[in-house]
Structure 1
Amino acid sequence: MRLFCLHGWGFSSKVFEGLDCFSLDLPAHGRSNLIYRDLESLAKDIAMRIPSENVLLGWSMGGSLAILTALRFPNKVKGLILIGTTPCFGTSWNEKNIRAFLLRLRKEGHSFVKHFRKMAHWQDFEDSIELSTAYKMLEDYINLDLTYLLPYIRQRTVILQGEEDKIVPFKSGLALYNLIKGSKFITFTGGHFPRGYEYLIPKILKSF
Structure 2
Amino acid sequence: MSATQEPVDPKQENQKPDTSEKLEVNEAPTEQAEESSEKGADQSGAAEEENLDAMLQAAQQEIARYHEELLRARAEVENVRRRAQEDVAKARKFGTEAFAESLIPVRDSMEAALALTDQSAEAWKEGVEATLRQLNGAFERNQMREVAPVPGDKFDPHFHQAISSVPSDQPEGAIVQVLQKGYTLADRVLRPALVMVSSGQA
**If each structure's helix is expressed as a fraction of its own residues, which one has the higher value?**
2
**Structure with max Cα Rg:** 2
Q: The TM-score by the shorter chain falls in which range?
A: under 0.3
TM-score (normalizing by structure 2):
0.18
TM-score (normalizing by structure 1):
0.18
Report which structure shows greater RCO (CA 8 Å, sep ≥6): 1
